[in-house]
Amino acid sequence: MILQRLEALPVGSFHYKLLLLTGLGWLFDSMDTGLIAFVLPVLAKEWALTPAQVGWIGSIGLIGMALGAVLAGTLADRIGRKQVFSLTVLLYSLSTGMCALSWSYESLLFFRFLVGFGLGGELPVAATLMSEYAPAHLRGRFIVLLESFWGVGWLVAACISYLLIPAFGWQIAFVIGTLPALYVFLIRLHMPESIRYLLAKNRIEDAKDVILQLEAKLGVKSEAFPDKIDLSDMQRQEQAAQPRFTALWAKPFRTRTAMLWLAWFGIVFSYYGIFMWLPSIVYAQGFAVVKTFEYVLIMTLAQLPGYYAAAWLVDVIGRKYTLSLFLLMSGVCAFFFGNAATANTLLAWGSAMSFFNLGAWGVIYTYTPEQYPTTIRALGSGWAAGFGRIGGMLAPMLVGVMLGSALGMNTIFLMFASVFVIISAVVILLGKESKQKTLEELEAVMES
C-alpha cells in the first residue's frame, strides 16, 4: 500500500528538488575529477613529474573510488542512503581542500586517495536513492538527468582552470573544491530517507511519515493507513534477505552482475584513460596550456546534449539498446580522435566522443540499480562501480607508460575504441531490458 501510494505520486516539486540535491553532489564530484585533470599538466611541469608519476596521481583517486563504492554501497544498505550520501560528500570536500596544502608528491597521492574514497562512495548511493523515488515511467529520464550534472561539473572545472589557474596557481582549484562541505547541511535538511529502504528494514511507521509528508507537499489528499499493514511477499523476501556479497552471484543475479561488472570496467577504463589525460594529450599536440583549456572546454560542452539525447532514448528504445549504441559510437569516435591530423578534426571527433561517452554514463547509472532488489540495490550498484574503478586505476597509469614509449596517440585510442566495442557487445548479449517497469515489477521478474 505504501509503495502503491509512492508510485501514484504526481511528478512535482519534491522530485525536482531531489534531482537538484543529488545532482549537486554529482556536479561537485565531477568538478573535483575535472580539476585534477586540468591541474595535471601544470603540476607536472612545476614539479618535474614523469608521465608515470602523473598517471599515478590519476590512478590513486580511482583506487580510493573503488574502495569507497564498495564500502559505501554496503553501508547504505545497512544504515541508509541519506546518511552515507552526507558522509561521503563531506569526506571528499575536506580532502580536496587538503590537496591545496600538499607539500610533496607523496602527500598529494594520500589526499587524492581520500578524495577518491568519498567520490566513489557518493555516486552509486545517489543513483540508488534517486531510482527509488523516481516514478517508473520517468525513472530512466531522471537518472540520466542526474548524471548530466557531471557534464556541468566538468564545465565548472574547465572554467575554474581556464580563468584562475593561470593567474593564481593550481592550489586555487583545490581550495574552491572544499565548498561542497557546506552542501551537506542542505542534504540533511531537505533529503528524505528512501521509503523502499525503510520498508526493507521494517521501519513501517517511518515510511508512513515520509509518504504523508510527500503527499502534503505535492497536494495529494492523504488517506489513513490501516492499523496494521500486511507486507507483500516481495517485501517479506527483502526483509529476510541480508545484503551480502554472495547474493550478487546467486542464480537470479549472476548474469546481471557479470554483465554490469564488465560494462563498468570497460566504460571506467576508457573514460578515465581518455579524459584524465585529455588536457595533457591536447597539450602534447602542440597547443599552449590556455589553448588546451579552450579546446577541452568545447569538447566538454558536447557532453550535455549527449546526456539529453540519452535521457530521451532510455524510455523510448530502452536502457539496453541505448547503452549499447552509445558505447559503440564512443568507440568509433575514439578511433578517429586518435587519428586526427588537424586541430579541427581533433576538436570535432573529441566533441562527438564526449557526446556519446557521457550519454553512456547516464544510461549505465540508470540501468545498474534496476538490476537488483531493494536490500542489495546499493550493494550491487556499489560493487559494479567499484569493480569498474579497477579499470580506472589501470588506464591512467597505462596511458602514462604508453606516452613514455614509442607508441603513438593513434595506438592508445585504438585500444580504447576496442574496449568500447567489446563492452557494447557484452551489453547486447547479456543485458535484460528494464524500461517502463516499477522496481517491484523488476524484482518479481528476477525471482521468476
**Do 346 and 340 contact (CB within 8 A), yes or no?**
yes
Average pLDDT rounded to a whole number, residues 252-281: 85
Give me the chain's average pLDDT, please.
81
The continuous run of DSSP H or E covering 386 comes out as helix 374-404
Other beta carbons less than 10 A from residue 233's beta carbon: 9
Average pLDDT rounded to a whole number, residues 17-28: 84
Q: What is the pLDDT of residue 233?
A: 43
Residue 305, Cβ density class (10 Å: 0-12 exposed, 13-18 middle, ≥19 buried):
middle
Other beta carbons less than 10 A from residue 411's beta carbon: 12
Average pLDDT rounded to a whole number, residues 16-31: 83
Average pLDDT rounded to a whole number, residues 181-189: 70
pLDDT in tens, 283-320: 666 655 546 567 767 777 888 898 889 888 988 888 89
Res 120 pLDDT > 70: yes
Res 400 pLDDT > 70: yes
Check residue 259 and report its DSSP letter: H
CA dihedral for 319, 321, 326, 331, sign (positive or negative) = positive
Average pLDDT rounded to a whole number, residues 189-217: 83
Residue 438, Cβ density class (10 Å: 0-12 exposed, 13-18 middle, ≥19 buried):
middle
Q: How far apart are CA 360 and CA 147, in angstroms?
A: 10
Instruction: Select from 170, 177, 128 the least CA-distant residue to 29.
Output: 177
Catalogue all structural domains in the chain, each as residue range(s) with its CATH number: 2-447 (1.20.1250.20)
**Do 385 and 47 contact (CB within 8 A), yes or no?**
no
Instruction: Select from 187, 194, 211, 255 the least CA-distant residue to 439.
Output: 194
Higher pLDDT pick, 327 / 78: 327
Q: Name the CA dihedral angle for 127, 268, 413, 330, rounded to a multiple of 10 degrees.
A: -30
Q: How far apart are CA 108 and CA 99, in angstroms?
A: 6
Average pLDDT rounded to a whole number, residues 379-397: 83
Check residue 405 and report its DSSP letter: S
Q: What is the pLDDT of residue 230?
A: 55
Whether the predicted model's global pTM rises above the 0.75 cut: no
Most confident of 5-9, 57-61, 228-232, 253-257: 253-257
Average pLDDT rounded to a whole number, residues 103-127: 87
**Which alpha helices (DSSP H) does 226-315 contain, by range?**
233-240, 254-275, 278-284, 289-301, 303-313
Check residue 371 and report its DSSP letter: G
**Do 393 and 62 contact (CB within 8 A), yes or no?**
yes
